[in-house]
Amino acid sequence: MKRIIPFGDRVLVKRQKTKEHRTEGKIIFTEATDNQDTDIATVRFVPDLTFTDQKLIENAESIIEGLSKRAGEDSEALKALLNLNHYLKLKSLQPGDKIMMGKYVGTDFKDSAIKEDLTMCRIDDIVGIVKEV
């Protein structure tokens, strides 16, 4: 069996169909749109944490403090701080999280082993996490 594992800043998601949201909140869809993809997807797979990932996450608070002190005067420190923020967002995603993403982004494919349509997308294509309130 073959598996596709996201690399770099990519995640594997399953887009949801309109009919899967018919009773959620105040969103109302017609039956004619039941099988259309929505901007909502469920995270299926994120890259595993490496040893380096674990160390960065463990030390993130002290790294952020150090970079924050220098960011006002050093543009490289500001860039590093923004890159760390981007990285931590990617690493905070977990399989099962519901996300909102751009409708026309990612690479769609069919996984014949599990008979599902999946999408590989970049972390920048994710515009938010859907949370129950």
pLDDT at 121: 92
Q: What is the pTM of this model?
A: 0.70
Return all residues near 65 (Cβ < 8 A) that are at least 6 apart: none
Side chain identity at residue 132, one-letter code: E
> If you write DSSP's letter for every residue of 98-122 in order, what string do you get?
EEEE-TT-SEEEEETTTTEEEEEEE
Beta-carbon-side half-sphere exposure of residue 82 (alpha carbons within 13 Å): 8
pLDDT (tens digit per residue) in 6-62? 887 888 999 987 655 545 555 554 554 445 566 889 999 888 888 888 999 999 999
Mean pLDDT of the chain: 82
Nearest to 118 by CA among 12, 11, 1: 12
Check: CB of residue 89 under 8 Å from CB of residue 123. yes
